[in-house]
Amino acid sequence: MNYFEKNKKNIIIGVIATLLIAALVALWLQKKVIHSNDDIVGLVYPSTLMVGDTLSFEDKTQFAKSKRWSFGDGGTSDKNSGIHFYNKPGYYQVTLIIDNKYSKSFPVMVRSREVAKPKDTAKIRTVIDAQSQAMVFENVQFRAVSEAKQFTWKFGETGNIDSKEKFATYSYKKPGDYVVTLFTDESIEPILHHIKILPGYDALQEDVTVEDAYAKMDNDFKYHLQQIANGSNFNTHYNFLLRKYLCNNENTVVKVNDSKVNNFYMYCAGLQFDKNNVIQTVKVNFDDAQSCVTKVDITQSK
């Protein structure tokens, strides 16, 4: 009897054990060392914006040793998070490159700001470029489209002069209808702009039942999602829900029609592009401290 036949059983056991160890090592390497593009955790928002608006980006990839953002217009960044501005309208691919090996792209649509030009005039008349509706505590941007050199803004809430810049930002503290007044050195008459400031959801009164309180929050959440689906200002309603309910966590779980699961940012971005959705019901689920929504159950249809 030769050596192999004599030790056949032990040899087979040794081979099987070696194969198992090799498989476990390969699995460990796949989880700890080997990665793919799908492992990249990056955020770019909003996906649709106007020229000059703020594009925010953030990378949360755990295994990344190096990173580089390419914004499709020649601009780059190696920061974890930040902002970017586009000077020209168009369709851009924002690409996040991890360790010079893995990459993930995000489509961004930049639209132009169209300002009507007065006919038969040699000089452009000053125009206020700003949204006509916003929420309390939201940073509203006001742009003076003008050839003037001096600017004086009154945003209508304090009665005082609020800014002397061509490009100004203001946050309203109280809801209401306001008249924004802009004075320049090119015209005696001021330029006016009307803006409506909406309140956040009202603080719950002590005599409201727990069921009514949750129903009120569900309905408030539903209202702002429906506004996004209807094509209203994305940033206004998205940022309100993010700050008010989600504790600024864009990765909050959203479950649609008891099946499809997504994070909050990707759901709202899809809702913006896939219009005509009707939000039927919304149910928010809080953490143990009842301070942050951790999951949103949504029923919708077309």
Reported as a single tens digit per residue, the pLDDT across 244-257 is 889 889 999 999 99
Contact at 8 Å (CB) between 216 and 258? no
Identify the pLDDT of residue 230. Answer: 85
Task: Tell me the two tokens of residue 236.
Answer: 């206004």
Q: Which long-range contacts (CB under 8 A, 24 or more apart) does 244-253 make?
A: 244/200, 244/201, 245/217, 245/221, 245/284, 245/292, 245/293, 246/292, 246/293, 247/291, 247/292, 247/293, 249/292, 250/43, 250/45, 252/293, 252/294, 252/295, 252/296, 253/294, 253/295, 253/296
Identify the pLDDT of residue 208. Answer: 54
Question: What is the Cα gyration radius of the chain?
Answer: 27
Contact at 8 Å (CB) between 296 and 266? no
Cα–Cα distance for residue pair 296/222, rounded to 1 Å: 10
Identify the pLDDT of residue 282. Answer: 93
pTM (predicted TM-score): 0.38
Identify the pLDDT of residue 203. Answer: 42
Identify the pLDDT of residue 30. Answer: 54
Reported as a single tens digit per residue, the pLDDT across 126-138 is 899 988 888 887 7
Identify the pLDDT of residue 57. Answer: 93
Q: Would you write out the chain's pLDDT as a tens digit for each of its 302 residues?
A: 556 666 666 767 777 878 888 777 666 655 555 677 888 889 999 989 998 889 999 998 888 889 999 999 989 999 999 999 999 899 899 999 998 888 999 999 999 876 555 554 455 688 999 888 888 877 788 999 988 999 999 999 988 999 999 999 888 888 999 999 999 998 888 999 999 998 865 444 445 566 777 888 899 999 999 888 888 888 888 888 988 889 889 999 999 998 888 899 988 888 888 777 889 999 999 888 777 899 999 999 87
Cα–Cα distance for residue pair 267/52, rounded to 1 Å: 25
